Chains A and B, each alone.
Chain A
Amino acid sequence: MKTLLKTGIITLLTFATFILSTTNVNAQTKNETDKIYIKIEVDGLSCPFCAYGLEKKLKQAGSKDVLINLEEGEATMSVPKEQQPTEEELRKIVKDAGFTPKEIIFSKTPFKIKKDEE
């Protein structure tokens, strides 16, 4: 009887752990797939006033993780899917920040930044 109880408890614990981990993975995956990743190539991005000006304007557009790369002349960011700005809206933000936007790329997966590649 005792053995049966022990086996039952172990089975229940294992099952609970499995369920919890699966939920976690699902939540993580859901979180990632709920985002859209954006890369904006910009002309004239040379000084910190420019870089952090663009950062400020893009944050106002709803992103919390704007990253400006002065060397490459590009900005990367992510936004929740339901708040995804149009390319036209992004071009206006970049122009209002004082720059000329070049290519704007939307992606379902994060962009590799130089630090990641190193």
Chain B
Amino acid sequence: MKNKVVFILIAAFLGTLFLFSCRGEQEKKTEINTHWKFAKIIDLNNVNPIGIVAQGDFLWLSDVDNNRIVKIDLDGKIIESFDGFQRPMHIAIQKGKIYVPEYTSDSLKILEDGKVSIYKLKEKPDAIAGVSIDGNTAAVADFYNNRIILQRDNKVTIIGKEGHKDGELYYPTDVEISNDLIYVADAYNNRVQVFDLNGNYVRMIGWNEGIKVATGVKVTDSQVIVADFEGNRVLVYDLNGKLLQILSDKFNQPTDIEIVNNKMYVVNYKRSSILVFYK
């Protein structure tokens, strides 16, 4: 009888140990899966990109120096080029439409099947640096007015004002709407700030990492990724702002990030290239 009890106890102990070790492995595996690894560089020919969005097997870039939008394949070859944009910055895509903020003209333009139309903004911006579209909602980063213009159908909500405190902005350059939250690349406050759709401040991301200029932001279902232009880094956080990873190799003034099919594309403005990472 005693032997049986001892045997059962030992078996239970070993079983528990086994289960814990499995869980540890699982956690380790999950942790590894949050990390990005360098894959390759795509060199661009005479393109100095600010913004990037993906569409199928193609990438769209805003070529700010050459006042155009280009569509490239995954080897960097230009497939199509659309001239005549006035300093296009951080672009967005929805249902095949490319939304192009023009920094010089203060217009938000839509490029669809080679034709250009205008998205009417109810509030006048001064230098649109970035745009995000989510259904009928548009958010634009109003650089010189230090604010985000959030336009939902006919309703306009102004988010932020000039300053350095929580909820205040200092030259915002990019914006993204994700799960009813607005993520703002608060460039010269060296951080990303998160707001709700009513413009209320929710949280701050990246304050402790000494970001030099938070130029671009990309949000997935589990990560917030920030391009640090002057710091030549890309920082990866979870949705609550916990730092997961810092990528700092091969960057040369990164400005924007796109993620598609578990691959991350980061544009280098100065080196005129795209860095590709995988998980």
Contacts and interface: CB of A to CB of B under 8 A. Distances in A.
A15 interface: no
Residue among A47, A56, A59, A97 having the largest count of chain B Cβ atoms under 10 Å:
A47
A48 B230 contact: no
Interface of A: 46-49, 52-53, 55-56, 59, 97-98
A53 B213 contact: no
Contacts of A46: 213, 230
Interface residues of B, number: 22
Interface in B104-162: 104, 127, 129, 143-144
Given A46-B230, A47-B213, A47-B215, A52 B173 contact: no
A58 to B, nearest CB: 11
25 contacts: A47-B213, A47-B215, A47-B253, A48-B48, A48-B50, A48-B64, A48-B255, A49-B89, A49-B103, A49-B127, A49-B129, A49-B171, A49-B173, A52-B104, A52-B127, A53-B103, A53-B143, A55-B87, A56-B87, A56-B103, A56-B104, A59-B104, A97-B144, A98-B144, A98-B171
A72 to B, nearest CB: 15
A73 to B, nearest CB: 14
Contacts, number: 41
Contacts of B129: 49
A47 B127 contact: no
The B interface is mostly helix, strand or loop, or mixed, namely loop
